[in-house]
Amino acid sequence: MSAQGEIPTTRLRDELDGRPGEDAHLVLRRVTVLDPVAGIDAVYDVVVRDGQVAALAAPGEADTEDAEVVEAEGLHAFPAFFDPHVHLRTPGHEHKEDVETGTRAAAAGGYCGILAMANTEPPVSTAAGISALREQARVGASVPVGFLATVTKGMEGAELTEMVELREAGALGFSDDGLPITDAGVMRRALQYQHLCGGNIALHEEDPRLSTGGAMHEGPVSAALGIGGIPSVSESTMVARDCALAAHESARIHIQHLSAAESVGIVRAAKATGVQISAEASPHHLCLTDEEVRTLDPHRFKMNPPIREERDRQALIEGLRDGTVECIATDHAPHQPEEKDVPFEQAAFGVTGLETAFAALHTELVLPGTIDLALLVERMAGGAEPFDLPRPTLAPGAEANVVLCDLGAEWTVGEDGYESRSANSWCAGRTLTGRVLMTVAAGQIAYRLRSFSLGVAS
Amino acid sequence: MKHLLSIEQLSREEIEAILDRAESFAEVGRRDIKKVPTLRGRTVVSLFYEASTRTSSSFDLAAKRLSADLVSVKAAGSSVEKGESLKDTIATLSAYDPAAIVIRHPYAGAAQMVAGWTTAGVVNAGDGKHEHPSQALLDVYTLRRRLGSLDGVRIWIVGDVLHSRVARSNLIAFERMGAEVTVCGPPTLIPRGIEELVCEVSYSLDGIEEADVVYALRMQKERMSESFVPSLREYAACFQIDSRRLHPRQLLMHPGPVNRGVELSGEAIDSPQSLIAEQVAAGLVVRMAILYELLAGGESSTPSTAGEGSRPTPIGTSA
């Protein structure tokens, strides 16, 4: 088998931190392999050994000696997913999530790597903070994790962190996510300083002077409900500002959780003029609209940026199609019931998404024919490259990052509980089609669905 | 009807049923002894997380006139101040096995959440800027008594629509009863997207002469500091309903409390066209009707026909 894709020279296991374990020796027999970036779309025996995709053999012909064999006829293997936007809530909010539970949730969702945000308590603003988290990941992470540091000290938006030292300590990039960097001067300095320290800067785009008091998208639904609005312009004006600054400083930025149609248009235009900019969209923004908020259910439908109108959702989908949005990111934001069992306006922002992202998008966008399966698979793994990490691929010789899915399996979200410590899934109670059966991350088996039994080599 | 959480949930028929019930309670109110035994032995909890005079007092009196046992809790001075969550407060009060919980809360959806936590019937007495259904019902009741019907009646709702739960509930209720509603106020106080609800939007009083009813909203002083309007003076110059702007043919309403000299001039308040006092009176009978529908609904009787079978009987009157 000759793959078109290049085999990355770096590996997630070297670039990120995870719990060391045994390399899997696995044969996925007669599995349908789809890796659109590598140009692979056929039935093979996938052989995983020594941390690599050792071979894509003709169906039924792989050497299975000493290997765990999975009879996978009718199932699909994709490059495992990569999520550049996860809240592990550690340190400080371990009652919501920690490195262990968050990476278990990631593994259950088919992810082989994630990036953790720095808006913890205290925020990750020091080299010591980064080092402590990396140590935790080496002890307890089911999938490799990278940690971002804050752009400004304590996320206060005023002074830059020691970005060189943070990079040396292993910060994969920088973000004040959760809060915008409101001061354009500070933003500009960070972009200038990037030429010294490197590392992408991921941006939560929101002008708080336009969004304060808001709890949902501003539009006809917020008018009907009497809930303060977060207008689309609170995002798009900041996206426009930062595109202009990045262009001016020849710097590199990553726009997080795009939600408004206007923002997509601005990113598209910036890319066309050569600005070094990448962008992500979240499954809930791709699947839901503010009509859901009429239920006043903060568990599933309160997040920031908010779910917006159908025209915004369509713009995000178009952005996925044309590459304006190169990756899907969950913005997995765990919260405990006491922060959500309160009236909508009082509830915490955020929903979990790691365990359901693929199944939800497969159900809501692929099955109805809105986007192709290949596009979804490509975008689910698109979050690595903006942070200088190798894109997961099934090309032989590459690090083994594989997700095995049953695209016909129906399941009801939450029925069997969650791997995450929190249950504020926007999919709670939904029946989804498509389920992750097994995840191989950096060569190791990170997850198996409990009810999925493995065959034994004959 | 198990709960009254919003006007949005009510059909025209359901609104009319409550109003008809309120009419029969109005008759009770003209008797010497204004009490009926309908809810004897049942408990009504009234739980107010916000200041209120007329809504809380009229719900309390309504419960008493229906012979219910009343527990009235104000957030100030209760364990809410000690940090108890709404959910825990409801669990605590539910231990009294109330038949109904009347709740006012500063945030949208609170009453709906409470309905999910208790077996009691829940009445929304105002949730944030979302809805205030009992106010809308008493306003429709007041207008129906005066005009007979709201079909084709042109109503202007004037003022701070953005922050008003009364505006939202009344807009829905008036439209559902066949009226044509215009909302009017400075553009900063008209919520973006309200034009997609069934109504006209006007940013000035031009054209208000076409209205049959002018419904003015309370203008809160803190809106100035938030730059919604430059000054009360300018607001009053543009939007105050005074005797010059109010045509003798038009009716005037206001949910109270009024800022005299701001949204309404003193003359307008005291003019014969003003229905403000009638609205307050209507509040009692409409809230009796709401409690009745929730707790004794399904019985088709009217309380005015005393002494027949299980129908509500005025206490102390001989059948």
Phi first, then psi: give them for residue B99, nearest 5 degrees: -80, -30
| Candidate list A177, A242, A312, A331, residue with the active-site label | A331
Chain B CB contacts of A345 below 8 Å: 107-109, 128
Chain B residue set in contact with A, beta carbons under 8 Å = 8, 85-87, 105, 107-110, 112-113, 127-131, 164-165, 168, 191-194, 196-197
| Domain membership flag for residue B193 | yes
Helix (H) or strand (E) holding A229: strand A229-230
Q: How far is B50 from B69, CA to CA, in rounded Å?
A: 22
Give catalytic status of residue A331 as yes or no.
Answer: yes
Is B306's pLDDT higher than 80? no
Q: How far is A195 from A252, CA to CA, in rounded Å?
A: 9
Residues of the domain holding B249: 133-278
Is B98's pLDDT higher than 50? yes
Let me know the angle formed at the C-alpha of A115 by A283 and A154, rounded to the nearest 5 degrees: 110
Please state the rounded mean pLDDT for residues A127-144: 98
Per-residue confidence (pLDDT) for residue B318, from 0 to 100: 39
Per-residue confidence (pLDDT) for residue A454, from 0 to 100: 53
Per-residue confidence (pLDDT) for residue B312, from 0 to 100: 45
Q: How far is A250 from A228, CA to CA, in rounded Å?
A: 37
Per-residue confidence (pLDDT) for residue A318, from 0 to 100: 98
B119 and B177 assigned to the same domain: no
| Domain membership flag for residue B158 | yes
B201 and B240 assigned to the same domain: yes
Is A204 in contact with A256 (CB distance < 8 Å)? yes
> Closest partner residue to B108 among A231, A341, A344, by Cβ?
A344
B111 and B167 assigned to the same domain: no
Is A333 in contact with A96 (CB distance < 8 Å)? no
Taking CA–CA distances from A296, the nearest residue in chain B reads B109
B171 and B215 assigned to the same domain: yes
Give the length of chain B.
319
Structural domains present in chain A: 80-387 (3.20.20.140)
Please tell me which of A2-11, A187-196, B196-205 the model is most confident about, judged by mean pLDDT: A187-196
Spell out a b/e string for B173-206, using b for 16 or more CB atoms within 10 Å of the CB, else e.
bbbbbebbbbbbbbeebbbebbeebebeebeebe
Q: How far apart, in Å, are the Cα atoms of A30 and each of A75, A417, A456?
A: 8, 31, 15
Q: How far is A274 from A85, CA to CA, in rounded Å?
A: 24
Q: How far apart, in Å, are the Cα atoms of B253 and each of A74, B154, B206?
A: 69, 13, 19
Decide if A226 and B130 are in contact by the 8 Å CB cutoff: yes
Taking CA–CA distances from A232, the nearest residue in chain B reads B192
Q: How far is B126 from B167, CA to CA, in rounded Å?
A: 12
Chain B CB contacts of A220 below 8 Å: 193-194, 196-197
Q: What are the tens digits of pLDDT across the range B115-170?
A: 999 999 999 999 999 999 999 999 999 999 999 999 999 999 999 999 999 999 99
Phi first, then psi: give them for residue A156, nearest 5 degrees: -85, -10
- Assigned token pair, A8: 């990355």
Burial class (CB in 10 A: 0-12, 13-18, 19+), B23: middle
**Mean pLDDT (chain A, rounded):** 96
Is B105's pLDDT higher than 50? yes
B139 and B105 assigned to the same domain: no
| Domain membership flag for residue B74 | yes
Min distance A341 CA to chain B CA atoms (Å): 7
Decide if B191 and A221 are in contact by the 8 Å CB cutoff: no
B245 and B206 assigned to the same domain: yes
- In this structure, is the dihedral angle defined by the CA atoms of residues B309, B314, B318 and B319, taken in order, positive or negative? negative
Identify the CA nearest to B146 among candidates B21, B270, B251: B251
Q: What is the DSSP letter of A366?
A: I
| Domain membership flag for residue B183 | yes
Decide if B192 and A229 are in contact by the 8 Å CB cutoff: yes
B288 and B273 assigned to the same domain: no
Domain total in chain B: 2
Taking CA–CA distances from B192, the nearest residue in chain A reads A219
Lowest mean pLDDT across A4-18, A108-122, A438-452, B258-272: A4-18
Q: What are the tens digits of pLDDT across the range A23-52?
A: 999 999 999 999 999 999 999 999 999 999
Please state the rounded mean pLDDT for residues A274-301: 98
List all residues 6 or more positions away from B32 whose beta carbon is below 8 Å from its beta carbon: none
Is A297's pLDDT higher than 80? yes
Per-residue confidence (pLDDT) for residue A143, from 0 to 100: 98
More confident residue, B303 or A289: A289
B199 and B287 assigned to the same domain: no
Amino acid at A58: A
B114 and B205 assigned to the same domain: no
Per-residue confidence (pLDDT) for residue B305, from 0 to 100: 40
> Is cis: bond before B257, omega within 30 of 0?
yes
Q: How far is A301 from A335, CA to CA, in rounded Å?
A: 13
User: What is the value of pTM for the model shown?
Assistant: 0.93
- Assigned token pair, A321: 């199609």
Taking CA–CA distances from B113, the nearest residue in chain A reads A343
Per-residue confidence (pLDDT) for residue A92, from 0 to 100: 97
Is B103's pLDDT higher than 80? yes
> Closest partner residue to B192 among A223, A225, A343, by Cβ?
A223
Q: What are the tens digits of pLDDT across the range A375-393?
A: 999 999 999 999 999 999 9
Is B104 in contact with B4 (CB distance < 8 Å)? no
Phi first, then psi: give them for residue A301, nearest 5 degrees: -125, 10
Q: How far is A264 from A323, CA to CA, in rounded Å?
A: 11
> Closest partner residue to B108 among A219, A223, A225, by Cβ?
A225
Q: What is the CATH number of the domain that holds B148?
A: 3.40.50.1370
Is A150 in contact with A123 (CB distance < 8 Å)? yes
> Closest partner residue to B85 among A221, A227, A338, by Cβ?
A338
| Domain membership flag for residue B318 | no
Q: What are the tens digits of pLDDT across the range B41-90?
A: 999 999 999 988 889 999 999 999 999 999 999 887 777 777 889 999 99
Is A122's pLDDT higher than 90? yes
Q: How far is A140 from A100, CA to CA, in rounded Å?
A: 5
List all residues 6 or more positions away from A458 whose beta carbon is below 8 Å from its beta carbon: none
B83 and B18 assigned to the same domain: yes
Is B319's pLDDT higher than 50? no
Identify the CA nearest to A159 among candidates A123, A185, A192: A185
| Domain membership flag for residue B145 | yes
Q: What are the tens digits of pLDDT across the range B3-24?
A: 999 999 999 999 999 999 999 9
Let me know the angle formed at the C-alpha of A258 by A110 and A351, rounded to the nearest 5 degrees: 55
Please state the rounded mean pLDDT for residues B209-233: 88
Q: What are the tens digits of pLDDT across the range B162-205?
A: 999 999 999 999 999 999 999 999 999 999 989 888 679 999 99
Per-residue confidence (pLDDT) for residue A112, from 0 to 100: 98
B118 and B40 assigned to the same domain: yes
Please state the rounded mean pLDDT for residues A335-356: 97
Is A120 in contact with A150 (CB distance < 8 Å)? no
Is B275's pLDDT higher than 90? yes
Q: How far is B115 from B110, CA to CA, in rounded Å?
A: 9
Task: State the pLDDT confidence band at A4, using cuts at 50, 70 and 90.
Answer: low
Is A76's pLDDT higher than 80? yes
Is A11 in contact with A398 (CB distance < 8 Å)? no
Is B248's pLDDT higher than 80? yes
Is A157 in contact with A182 (CB distance < 8 Å)? yes
Per-residue confidence (pLDDT) for residue A456, from 0 to 100: 40
Decide if A296 and B131 are in contact by the 8 Å CB cutoff: no
B84 and B181 assigned to the same domain: no
